[in-house]
Amino acid sequence: MKKTTKVNQRKNKFYVTTPIYYINDVPHIGHAYSTIAADTLARYYRRKLGKDNVLFVTGTDENSQKTINAAELAGQGTEEYTELTAEKWQNIFNTLDITYNRFIRTTEDDHKKTVQDILQKVYDNGDIYKGVYEGLYCVGHEAFMKEEDLVDGLCPDHKKAPEHIKEENWFFKLSKYQERLKHYILDNPDFIQPQSRRNEVLSFIETKGLEDFSISRETQEWGIRLPFDDSQVAYVWFDALLNYVTAAGYGTDKFSKWWPADLHIVGKDIIKFHCIYWPAMLWSAGLELPHQVFAHGFFTNNGEKISKSLGNAIDPIALVQKYGNDALRYYLLREITFGSDGDFSLQRFNEVYNSDLANNLGNLVSRLATMLIKYNNAQYNEVKVKPRYSYEDDIVKLKFHSCLAELFSWLDSLNGAIEENKPWELFKTDPQKTVEVLSGIACELLLIAQYLEPFLPEASKKIQAVFSNGTVVNAGVLFPKFE
Ligand SMILES: [Zn+2]
């Protein structure tokens, strides 16, 4: 019998996560992208299910070796460093108007409890054993590397020679879950999306097979101690991934409301951990799997790979300071198909901003308001309008670009209706018809504004303040044009 999972939400709740970000990273557009996508869905589901039924979690990964190195470099104690830096991340997400319900830090007490409790369960279940790990370890990757992956003895991504490490560690029996996982993915087509990533994971399982992985380090001081061996700390995945469970209230009565998560949004570089390690870890701990893992693509900057050496990282804060949050959200979600790679170009950003936001949407709002003020004493008739596009089908499938394309072509047609009816001429012969036409357009615009709320929260709010309960106020300029 074939089981099918429903897309996302099964219960009347929605729990969405972003990856937790390495605390030592400089926040860039990729972080903003995952987080804005999750924020868009959180806003959509809050409208649909009520705000108490949505949980949106983001946060920082603080227990790795990278944290210790970064703190040393900054001349700070590790704890001091994580405090200051976590605050920086939160400030950035606040500036981006990200409506997270919890910003989780893996150094928090409840997370430490979760990690120890789950590790104990997995241990009791016979899935953890002691072995010797010997290999080439890249700190940048937080992973062991194979000789064949190196270029001139260096990690090709981090341009550093990996360290040779030999230590006695604890291992997780990932291999035990290989067949179960393969069948689960085959039986649940929505579990990994988009399709290309699902194929990638399946082919990984089939060609490479699942190898047990090390879950602890003895040489690292900073981190969460293993409950069954306090000489070692939990190694990254059995710490970081469990944040999703901690944030759902693991160990409290809230947990059954939120778990399993409805959606993990991740970058395509971490699907192996989210689609292979994570399900096996959850099964071993006796927990249900999330309904879906959705991996988005990466950006280039003007067609070039973004890298530290090129110094071409894109700062989301600089963009929103000039153009506003809605503009950044619009570009990222409209220009790039979610799930595919995309290009970021400042010139294109500016073009799209001017044509879609300043002209199409912004002009429509201000000219419509101006005409209603002039021709009908700042009043409009509240009429029932039919949606010309049902965007729910697309938004639940994370087709953000289709949603925005459709809603903006609907706006085009409203602009077209003004051009066709020429209210400034019509008013001279038929004032009543003029008011009818303009009212119809205002009510459709209001409906679009509601649909746009998850995508463009600021503009949506402004439009709903301009046209409200049959009364119109001056709209001002929603999106000032930039050369
Ligand atoms: Zn590396």
Instruction: Verify that 253 and 152 share a domain, yes or no.
Output: yes
Instruction: Verify that 198 and 260 share a domain, yes or no.
Output: yes
Instruction: Verify that 288 and 364 share a domain, yes or no.
Output: no
CA of 414 to the centre of ligand 1 (A): 52
CA of 225 to the centre of ligand 1 (A): 25
Q: Distance between terminal CA atoms of the chain?
A: 60
Instruction: Verify that 194 and 51 share a domain, yes or no.
Output: yes
Q: What is the CATH number of the domain that holds 200?
A: 3.40.50.620
CA of 157 to the centre of ligand 1 (A): 5
Q: What is the CATH number of the domain that holds 379?
A: 1.10.730.10
Of 272, 297, 322, the residue at which a domain comes to its end is 297
Question: What is the structure's pLDDT at 7?
Answer: 46
CA of 300 to the centre of ligand 1 (A): 20
CA of 413 to the centre of ligand 1 (A): 51
**Would the pTM of this model clear 0.75, i.e. be above it?**
yes
Domain containing 230 equals: 14-297
Instruction: Verify that 270 and 193 share a domain, yes or no.
Output: yes
CA of 294 to the centre of ligand 1 (A): 24
CB neighbour class for 245 (10 Å; exposed up to 12, middle 13-18, buried from 19): buried
Instruction: Verify that 245 and 392 share a domain, yes or no.
Output: no
On the question of pLDDT at 450 being above 90, the answer is yes
CA of 66 to the centre of ligand 1 (A): 12
Instruction: Verify that 274 and 399 share a domain, yes or no.
Output: no
Instruction: Verify that 111 and 196 share a domain, yes or no.
Output: yes
Confidence of residue 284 (pLDDT cuts 50, 70, 90): very high
Residue 282 near residue 49, CB atoms below 8 Å: no
* Within a domain: 302: no
CA of 138 to the centre of ligand 1 (A): 5
Of 297, 312, 337, the residue at which a domain comes to its end is 297
pLDDT digits (tens, 9 = 90+) for 131-155: 998 889 888 887 778 888 899 999 9
* Within a domain: 327: no
On the question of pLDDT at 106 being above 80, the answer is yes
CA of 399 to the centre of ligand 1 (A): 32
CA of 305 to the centre of ligand 1 (A): 17
CA of 104 to the centre of ligand 1 (A): 26
If you average pLDDT over residues 318-346, what whole number do you get?
96
CA of 69 to the centre of ligand 1 (A): 15
> For the chain, how many structural domains are there in total?
2
* Within a domain: 330: no
Instruction: Verify that 285 and 417 share a domain, yes or no.
Output: no
Confidence of residue 5 (pLDDT cuts 50, 70, 90): very low
Residue 379 near residue 372, CB atoms below 8 Å: yes
CA of 418 to the centre of ligand 1 (A): 57
CA of 103 to the centre of ligand 1 (A): 27
CA of 127 to the centre of ligand 1 (A): 28
Instruction: Verify that 59 and 168 share a domain, yes or no.
Output: yes
Percentage helix, strand, coil, to 5, in the chain?
Answer: 50, 20, 30
CA angle 34, 35, 38 (to 5 degrees): 90
Of 262, 277, 297, the residue at which a domain comes to its end is 297
Q: Where are the beta strands (DSSP E) in 69-198?
A: 102-105, 128-138, 143-145, 163-172, 192-193
On the question of pLDDT at 422 being above 90, the answer is yes
Question: Pairing between strand 54-61 and 14-22?
Answer: parallel
Confidence of residue 166 (pLDDT cuts 50, 70, 90): confident
CA of 65 to the centre of ligand 1 (A): 13
For residues 138 and 117, what is the distance between their CA atoms, to the nearest angstrom?
29
Residue in 294, 277, 306 with CA at minimum distance from that of residue 214: 277
* Within a domain: 284: yes
CA of 209 to the centre of ligand 1 (A): 22
On the question of pLDDT at 4 being above 60, the answer is no
For residues 263 and 288, what is the distance between their CA atoms, to the nearest angstrom?
13
Instruction: Verify that 293 and 381 share a domain, yes or no.
Output: no
If you average pLDDT over residues 234-244, what whole number do you get?
95
* Within a domain: 340: no
- Kindly list the distances between the CA atom of residue 340 and the CA atoms of 23, 178, 296, 457, in Å, as whole numbers in the listed order: 26, 28, 6, 24
For residues 201 and 210, what is the distance between their CA atoms, to the nearest angstrom?
11
pLDDT digits (tens, 9 = 90+) for 359-386: 999 999 999 999 999 999 999 999 999 9
* Within a domain: 173: yes
* Within a domain: 156: yes
Confidence of residue 227 (pLDDT cuts 50, 70, 90): very high
Question: What is the structure's pLDDT at 246?
Answer: 98
* Within a domain: 326: no
CA of 21 to the centre of ligand 1 (A): 17
Q: Which residue has the tokens 């001017």?
A: 354
Instruction: Verify that 286 and 362 share a domain, yes or no.
Output: no
CA of 387 to the centre of ligand 1 (A): 50
Residue 321: what residue type? Q
Half-sphere CA count of 472, side-chain side, radius 13 A: 29
The fraction of the chain above a pLDDT of 90, given in percent, is 86
Task: Spell out the long-range contacts of 252-259 with Cβ–Cβ below 8 A and sequence spacing 24 or more.
Answer: 257/11, 257/13, 258/13, 258/15, 258/55, 259/15, 259/287, 259/288
